[in-house]
A and B are shown apart, each in its own frame.
Chain A
Amino acid sequence: MNSIFEYFADIFHTVKSLLTGMKVTGRYFFSPGEIVTQQYPENRKTLKMYDRFKGEVIMPHNDHNEHRCTGCGICETACPNGTIEIIQARIDMPDGKKKRIIDKHIYHLGMCTFCGLCIKACPSDALAWGQEFEHAVFDRSKLTKTLNQPGSSIIKDIVE
């Protein structure tokens, strides 16, 4: 007698537990307001990343094509994996001294691990995070970027 009772109790519990689970899926099925999918490529125009989003390392330039980089090379040392290469140039100052400036600030995006150490280490705040994240390219060499724009110069009041 007891075992028959248990048998039916088992069936009851099984059906009940399965229905409980189905209730959850059913609820979401009939409440499309809870849809959370992002329509990514379609919403490109309106998509805005968070301010702190780490898309890539950039060097902000002002309207006069000026940046804050002195070419000191601290970011190159801070980077754990050799992503940054600093190529310096020397120019003659009017007073006869030679001054070191940045020639090329080369950034290998393909090697960057987005750790943020370069940005933190830079003494003159020349680097920042960019919001761009669609980095896929057909040729790997396109991932090597020069961060200081051609013809750019340093903002006057930056001192090392």
Chain B
Amino acid sequence: MKEVINLPVKNIEEEEYHINMGPQHPSTHGVLRLVVSLQGEIVKSLKPHCGYIHRGIEKMCEKDTYPQIIHLTDRMDYLSAHINNHAVCLLVENALEVEVPERVKYIRTIIDELNRIASHQLWWCSFGMDMGGLTCYFYGLRDREKILDIFEESFGSRLLHSYYTPGGLMMDIHPNFQANVKAFIKYFRKKIKDYDDLLTGNVIMQLRTKGVGILSREDAISYGVTGPSGRASGFACDVRKHHPYGVYDKVDFKEIMGTKGDTFERYMMRMNEMHESMKIIEQLIDNIPAGDYSAKMKAVIKLPAGEYYQRVEASRGELGVYCISDGNKTPYRMKFRSPNFSNLSALDHISRGVKIADLVAIGGSLDYVIPDIDR
């Protein structure tokens, strides 16, 4: 007679199971692998696995001279390449106590803000796409193209510019730069209304984001969530405001703050920041002082031995550069405190108990860029 084996009958609804989201998932925006533990549709916990695009940038910095490091920082958060470059340039300039010309500061501030707008536009595209609105993607990219054209005309490249050098800029801005930027601001003021009509006011989007993925102020601080995501929770962390660099202390702009800390608030932060960035650019674009586009620097830059730290506000949060120099022309150690890595660490905390579909929206609202996480 055949023996009957009684397998234990599991209750599917109560059982926890794990699925891999990524590394090749369209909504992780890159090669990020999230091991999601699910019960039915509810996310129980989540483990991000990083390192798929680790290139050892920090280690590579140790063999590069300071001007050479600039081009590596482009490749961390490639959507705010100029701002990353700015961080290293400021570090070197402050360590050597070089006074950069006023013109350079103005140009750098304008370009940083343009870069921030371009980055937020791309975030808006992909956030809309995560929520199922593919139309957003086309409209957002269309407007971002205008900024990329300005970049291409002025610096020759569209994404990875390496335009700043310690002490100044690679070359002066293009003669058309100011006119182009002004034309863009005029154009984008009109088009940003489309963004609100298409996505911000959309009921489906609002229902899916309001009250979902709440990050409290205390948690934002303890996880180190900075940038628009941190400010949505009421954590005043805008480096531009609290530790001004460039000419941010001379311009009038609001630090956009939220209170609720949910996905929708994080969305609104970035939408409002685009308006603020345009305000900053408008105040500066006509007042760029004449002068040199670079300070006189030695051919071989050597930082005095010691430790240096510099932070800037990248489009996703606070980017910190920590450098130990032993007096040589290459740093002894270079460490980047990348905003995306800290922001990602909060993902597990805020997505516990939400539906798996909302996880995509939360991830979109944190706006992580994977090469910046892995470096």
CB of B145 within 8 A of CB of A21, answer no
Q: In the bound complex, what is the Cα–Cα distance between A113 and B142 (angstroms)?
A: 26
CB of A25 within 8 A of CB of B152, answer no
CB of B68 within 8 A of CB of A24, answer no
CB of A21 within 8 A of CB of B70, answer no
User: Which residue of chain B has the shortest Cβ distance to A49 in the bound complex?
Assistant: B152
Interface residues of A in 120-145 (CB under 8 A from B): 120, 129
Chain B residues contacting A54 (CB-CB under 8 Å) are 156-157
CB of B198 within 8 A of CB of A21, answer yes
> Nearest Cβ distance between residue A118 and chain B, in whole angstroms?
11
Chain B residues contacting A20 (CB-CB under 8 Å) are 197, 201
Q: How many residues of B contact A (CB 8 A)?
A: 30
In this assembly, does B154 line the interface, its C-beta being within 8 Å of a C-beta of chain A?
yes
CB of B170 within 8 A of CB of A114, answer no
In this assembly, does A17 line the interface, its C-beta being within 8 Å of a C-beta of chain B?
yes
In this assembly, does B6 line the interface, its C-beta being within 8 Å of a C-beta of chain A?
no
Q: How many residues of A contact B (CB 8 A)?
A: 23
Given contacts A52-B174, A120-B170, are A17 and B201 in contact (CB under 8 A)? yes
Chain B residues contacting A36 (CB-CB under 8 Å) are 142, 145
CB of B198 within 8 A of CB of A24, answer yes
> Nearest Cβ distance between residue B375 and chain A, in whole angstroms?
16
> Nearest Cβ distance between residue B124 and chain A, in whole angstroms?
14
Q: In the bound complex, what is the Cα–Cα distance between A113 and B152 (angstroms)?
A: 16
In this assembly, does A1 line the interface, its C-beta being within 8 Å of a C-beta of chain B?
no
In this assembly, does B28 line the interface, its C-beta being within 8 Å of a C-beta of chain A?
no
In this assembly, does A7 line the interface, its C-beta being within 8 Å of a C-beta of chain B?
no
CB of B156 within 8 A of CB of A53, answer yes
Interface residues of A in 7-49 (CB under 8 A from B): 13-14, 17-18, 20-21, 23-25, 36
Interface residues of B in 100-141 (CB under 8 A from A): 135, 139
User: Which residue of chain A has the shortest Cβ distance to B142 in the bound complex?
Assistant: A36
Chain B residues contacting A21 (CB-CB under 8 Å) are 197-199, 201-202
In this assembly, does B99 line the interface, its C-beta being within 8 Å of a C-beta of chain A?
no
In this assembly, does B160 line the interface, its C-beta being within 8 Å of a C-beta of chain A?
yes
In this assembly, does A87 line the interface, its C-beta being within 8 Å of a C-beta of chain B?
no
> Nearest Cβ distance between residue A143 and chain B, in whole angstroms?
19
Given contacts A18-B202, A18-B203, A20-B197, are A52 and B142 in contact (CB under 8 A)? no
In this assembly, does A115 line the interface, its C-beta being within 8 Å of a C-beta of chain B?
yes
CB of A115 within 8 A of CB of B197, answer no
User: Which residue of chain A has the shortest Cβ distance to B299 in the bound complex?
Assistant: A121
CB of A17 within 8 A of CB of B70, answer no
In this assembly, does A91 line the interface, its C-beta being within 8 Å of a C-beta of chain B?
no
> Nearest Cβ distance between residue B66 and chain A, in whole angstroms?
11
Chain A residues contacting B174 (CB-CB under 8 Å) are 52
A24's partner among B71, B142, B165, B194 (CB-CB below 8 A) is B194
B162's partner among A23, A52, A116 (CB-CB below 8 A) is A116
In this assembly, does B62 line the interface, its C-beta being within 8 Å of a C-beta of chain A?
no
> Nearest Cβ distance between residue B104 and chain A, in whole angstroms?
16
CB of A113 within 8 A of CB of B198, answer no
Q: In the bound complex, what is the Cα–Cα distance between A120 and B170 (angstroms)?
A: 8
> Nearest Cβ distance between residue A34 and chain B, in whole angstroms?
9
B-side residues, CB < 8 A to A, are 64, 67-68, 70-72, 135, 139, 142, 145, 152-157, 160, 162, 165, 170-171, 174, 194, 197-199, 201-204
Contacts A25-B135, A53-B156 supplied; 15 other A-B pairs, CB < 8 Å: A13-B203, A21-B197, A21-B202, A23-B197, A25-B198, A52-B152, A52-B156, A52-B171, A53-B152, A54-B157, A78-B68, A80-B71, A113-B160, A115-B68, A120-B170
